[in-house]
């Protein structure tokens, strides 16, 4: 009886041991863990290219047309000196209209605005004169018959006074030449005058396309004119020095500078140039 009880106890211990061993399996294999809802993964935002801030620098303003207007007016005045036909005056009218339009475009912020407004009225008078001449074209009578044109750059406060008509009445009408018996000379009166003008520092400002300049050169002759200090004002001309023309405030062609004095634009006779330079014969 006792042995039966021991056997039964041993069987119970063995069964208990087997039961305990079964419980040692990892819970994850026998017990399902409560499912936790997966967190939604927010999509990675794509980088947004930021717009570059607009440049605060204002664009460079176009150059004002004040100086261009003065140059255009100079061209109009020059053409007017030799205008003969209706087409010539039409070209003069076109130049004056362009100059006026350029002046009207000068902004109020420009230091040249006040001067531009004064020039507009002046150029409009010259335009009216040209329109009148276009209706009744006539042969040019020289610079004195041209409309009064003054295109003064603000930096020049005292423009040179014009030569008056009294010059011809108070100055000798012929070149003063030395007697061939007392002072023989192989040079012509034209060359002698040209040499004198060169020695006196006289200058002639002109442009290669200017008819009045061509006539002035012909007045001297080719050999004599080689002695003249000629300054080409058009940038497209040969050996051009437009900077010197601007510094001298040249408004039309040809313009003579004698003894540091600028005279009325236009061609001059040799007698007038001799008088202006106090020419007293062959030096």
User: Is 3.40.640.10 the CATH classification of the domain at 166-276?
Assistant: no
pTM, to two decimals: 0.41
Sheet order of strands, 261-262 included: 229-232, 203-206, 255-258, 261-262
DSSP state of 258: E
DSSP β-ladder status, 229-232 and 203-206? parallel
CA 228 vs CA 148, 190, 247: distances in Å: 28, 11, 20
Cite the residue boundaries of each domain of the chain with CATH code 1.20.58.
Answer: 66-141
In tens digits, the chain (283 residues) has pLDDT values of 555 555 555 545 444 444 444 433 344 444 444 455 545 555 555 555 555 444 444 444 455 688 888 888 888 888 887 788 888 899 989 999 999 999 999 999 999 999 989 999 989 999 998 898 888 876 544 443 444 444 343 333 344 444 433 333 334 444 444 334 444 446 789 999 999 999 999 999 999 999 999 999 999 999 999 999 999 999 989 999 999 999 999 989 999 999 999 998 998 999 999 999 999 764 4
CATH class of 66-141: mainly alpha
DSSP β-ladder status, 229-232 and 261-262? unpaired
């Amino acid at each position: 009886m006792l042995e039966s009880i021991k056997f039964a106890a041993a069987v119970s211990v063995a069964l208990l041991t087997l039961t305990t061993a079964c419980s040692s399996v990892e819970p994850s294999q026998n017990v399902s863990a409560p499912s936790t809802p997966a967190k939604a993964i927010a999509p990675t935002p794509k980088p947004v290219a930021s717009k570059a801030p607009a440049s605060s620098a204002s664009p460079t303003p176009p150059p004002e047309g004040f100086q261009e207007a003065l140059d255009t007016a100079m061209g109009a005045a020059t053409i007017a000196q030799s205008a003969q036909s209706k087409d010539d005056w039409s070209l003069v009218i076109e130049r004056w209209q362009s100059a006026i339009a350029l002046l009207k475009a000068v902004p109020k912020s420009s230091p040249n605005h006040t001067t531009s407004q004064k020039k507009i009225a002046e150029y409009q008078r010259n335009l009216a004169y040209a329109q009148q001449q276009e209706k009744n074209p006539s042969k040019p009578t020289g610079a004195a018959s041209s409309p009064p044109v003054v295109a003064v750059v603000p930096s020049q406060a005292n423009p040179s006074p014009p030569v008056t008509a009294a010059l011809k009445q108070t100055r000798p009408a012929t070149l003063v030449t030395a007697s061939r018996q007392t002072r023989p000379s192989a040079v012509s009166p034209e060359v002698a005058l040209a040499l004198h003008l060169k020695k006196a520092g006289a200058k002639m400002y002109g442009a290669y396309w200017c008819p009045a300049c061509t006539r002035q050169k012909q007045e001297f002759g080719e050999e004599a004119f080689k002695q003249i200090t000629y300054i080409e004002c058009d940038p497209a001309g040969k050996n051009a020095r437009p900077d010197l023309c601007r510094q001298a405030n040249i408004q039309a062609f040809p313009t003579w500078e004698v003894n540091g004095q600028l005279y009325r634009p236009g061609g001059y006779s040799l007698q007038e140039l001799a008088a202006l330079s106090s020419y007293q014969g062959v030096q």
